[in-house]
């Protein structure tokens, strides 16, 4: 993978650019995509941002969201944009398999592929890119890219809101250890450019539906188990649980963090049954490496304190296996 700075001369004239991110995109995925979209459009490029699947409701307010193409809903539009593109950008993922439906298409694409990501162990499939696991978010890295290109003056309120949204969500409102002094200086710069941080926070965190609030109460009362001997908590959600409240995937966002709010809990897991697999999300405090845990047991990976995995085992078998692993490793 060659340094990302080498793309700057290639983008001096208008190009057709395809941007995508991981399946079931979160705030950092959509924020980084849209921030890069707005920036590249300002530079004169024709840009198509494609999500592998739908995005959660709490992100539907974001500037430029109507420009997103959902591959599941508009596969022909997405495929045409990919075929016509001069360059392909991948944001907030580092292995094509994370895009699910787009995996094979990306492998087959002959155009140069450019990575901007902060997850560990990028695949050897990228032409240009930057991968910095220590960064708070991919949104922070898009900000870095704009600064590196000497285009700070192009950051307007729309770009600022997109960058802030992904940084806000991926840092847990700036409380996770990945939040650095540089992260706060970046936010100060975004505020100087018109960002209204309290507005974005309200749109992301204070716009729940009543059914989502009821769902949260049900989850915490009925579906959360605490294992004080392991300093661990687990939330298990079957397809039936999710159908019971008629919620979408975005309503599950952030549930994995709740057990960590309990005193002395250092390791939290969310197990969610989906139509074709079981997804696991892991969070930790301190020195328990959930990225290694995810890679070792659940075909996953991510960050030291935040990662994910998946399995094709049944939901019931996954829960049983996880509890056995938990008793074997005795996380502290």
What pLDDT is recorded for position 67?
97
Q: How far apart are the C-alpha atoms of 258 and 64, rounded to whole Å?
A: 31
pLDDT in tens, 254-299: 899 999 999 999 999 999 998 889 999 999 998 899 999 999 999 8
What pLDDT is recorded for position 75?
97
Q: How far apart are the C-alpha atoms of 11 and 14, rounded to whole Å?
A: 7
| φ and ψ at residue 310, rounded to 5 degrees | -155, 160
pLDDT in tens, 60-82: 999 999 999 999 999 999 999 99
Q: How confident is the model at residue 161 (pLDDT cuts 50, 70, 90)?
A: very high
Q: How confident is the model at residue 121 (pLDDT cuts 50, 70, 90)?
A: confident
Residue with tokens 């939040």: 179
Q: Which two tokens stand for residue 16?
A: 């057709």
Going along the chain from its start, the domains and CATH numbers come out as: 2-205 (3.90.1640.10), 210-329 (3.10.310.30)
What pLDDT is recorded for position 97?
92
Beginning with the edge strand found earlier in the chain, give each strand of the sheet holding 87-91 in spatial order: 2-3, 128-131, 113-117, 87-91, 16-20, 46-51, 69-70
Asked whether residue 330 carries a pLDDT value surpassing 80, the answer given is no
pLDDT in tens, 34-51: 999 999 999 999 999 999
Please check whether residue 34 is in contact with residue 63, taking contact to mean a CB–CB distance below 8 angstroms.
Answer: yes
Q: How far apart are the C-alpha atoms of 294 and 269, rounded to whole Å?
A: 11
What pLDDT is recorded for position 332?
57
What integer is the mean pLDDT of 120-140?
Answer: 94
Q: Report which of residues 302 and 217 the model is more confident about.
A: 217
Alpha helices (H) along the chain: 27-42, 75-84, 103-108, 138-148, 157-170, 181-192, 197-205, 210-218, 239-244, 290-298, 315-329
Q: How confident is the model at residue 248 (pLDDT cuts 50, 70, 90)?
A: confident
Please check whether residue 203 is in contact with residue 221, taking contact to mean a CB–CB distance below 8 angstroms.
Answer: no
DSSP state of 123: -
What pLDDT is recorded for position 303?
87
What pLDDT is recorded for position 69?
98
In Å, how far are 63, 219, 255 from 244, measured between CA atoms? 32, 11, 17
Interaxial angle between packed helices 157-170 and 181-192, expressed in degrees from 0 to 180 and rounded to the nearest 10: 150
Instruction: Pick the closest to residue 94 from 110, 63, 109, 116 (CA basis).
Output: 116
Please check whether residue 260 is in contact with residue 233, taking contact to mean a CB–CB distance below 8 angstroms.
Answer: yes
What pLDDT is recorded for position 14?
97
Q: How confident is the model at residue 331 (pLDDT cuts 50, 70, 90)?
A: low
Please check whether residue 185 is in contact with residue 8, taking contact to mean a CB–CB distance below 8 angstroms.
Answer: no
Q: For a pLDDT cut of 70, what percent of the chain falls above it?
A: 99
Beta strands 232-237 and 278-284: pairing type? Answer: unpaired
Give, rounded to a whole angstrom, the gap between the first and last alpha carbons of the chain. Answer: 37
What pLDDT is recorded for position 84?
98
Q: Which two tokens stand for residue 65?
A: 């969201």
């Amino acid at each position: 993978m060659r340094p990302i700075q080498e793309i700057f001369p290639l983008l001096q004239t208008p190009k057709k650019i395809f941007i995508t991110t991981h399946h079931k995109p979160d705030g950092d995925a959509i924020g980084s995509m849209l921030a890069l979209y707005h920036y590249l459009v300002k530079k004169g490029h024709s840009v198509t941002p494609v999500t592998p699947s739908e995005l959660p409701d709490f992100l539907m307010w974001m500037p430029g969201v109507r420009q997103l193409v959902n591959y599941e809903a508009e596969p022909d539009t997405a495929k045409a944009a990919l075929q016509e593109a001069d360059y392909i950008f991948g944001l907030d993922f580092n292995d094509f398999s994370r895009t699910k439906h787009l995996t094979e298409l990306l492998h087959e694409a002959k155009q140069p592929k450019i990575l901007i990501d902060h997850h560990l162990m990028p695949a050897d499939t990228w032409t240009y890119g930057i991968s910095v696991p220590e960064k708070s978010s991919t949104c922070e890295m898009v900000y870095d890219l704009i600064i590196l290109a000497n285009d700070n003056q192009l950051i307007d309120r729309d770009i600022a809101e997109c960058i802030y949204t992904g940084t806000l969500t991926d840092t847990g409102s700036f409380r996770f250890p990945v939040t650095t002094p540089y992260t706060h200086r970046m936010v100060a710069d975004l505020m100087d450019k018109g960002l209204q941080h309290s507005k974005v926070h309200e749109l992301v965190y204070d716009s729940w539906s009543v059914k989502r609030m009821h769902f949260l109460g049900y989850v915490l009362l009925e579906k959360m188990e605490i294992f004080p001997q392991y300093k661990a908590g687990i939330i298990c959600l079957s397809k039936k649980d999710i159908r019971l409240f008629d919620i979408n995937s975005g309503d599950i966002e952030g549930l994995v963090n709740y057990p960590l709010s309990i005193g002395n809990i250092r390791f939290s897991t969310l197990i969610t049954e989906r139509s074709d697999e079981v997804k696991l999300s892991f969070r930790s405090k301190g020195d328990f490496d959930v990225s290694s845990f995810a890679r070792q047991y659940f075909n996953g990976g991510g960050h030291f304190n935040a990662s994910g995995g998946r399995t094709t085992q049944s939901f019931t078998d996954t829960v049983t296996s996880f509890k056995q692993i938990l008793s074997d490793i005795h996380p502290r």
